[in-house]
Amino acid sequence: MAAAERSAGMESLVQKITNRLKDHKSCTIFENDLQAIWPIVSAARELRDQRNILIKAFAAAHGWSATIRDPGIRVVFRKLQPGEEKQNSRKLAKAG
């Protein structure tokens, strides 16, 4: 996938999640939307784990948490509450 397409897809995803979180506690994003930015290139556990780290880093960068449910099917994004940002950063640092 070209960098421009991935960037446009990411901006679209940010907008979708931001709009949903304005009025709701969470936003569920399904694999068809995730695949556009973080394609599954292998069933290898190591690559899936790396993809999950990238998704969680994306969420943290936007002030959200990401709960990966049914890996490869959906991710639930939520706004981070005050104080959660530091906790989330520590978790990501350990995972990376």
Taking alpha carbons only, the member of 61, 67, 38 closest to residue 50 is 38
Judge whether 56 and 95 are in contact, CB under 8 Å: yes
Q: For residue 74, what pLDDT is reported? A: 93
pLDDT (0 to 100) of residue 94: 57
Of 61, 87, 73, nearest to 28 by C-alpha is 73
- The pLDDT value recorded for residue 91 is 54
pLDDT digits (tens, 9 = 90+) for 3-32: 777 788 899 999 999 999 999 999 999 998
Task: Quickly count: other Cβ atoms within 10 Å of residue 94's Cβ.
Answer: 7
Q: Quote the pLDDT of residue 59.
A: 96
Query: Tell me: the pLDDT tens digits for 29-66?
Result: 999 899 889 888 777 888 888 999 999 999 999 999 99
Q: Which helix (H) or strand (E) holds 69?
A: strand 64-69
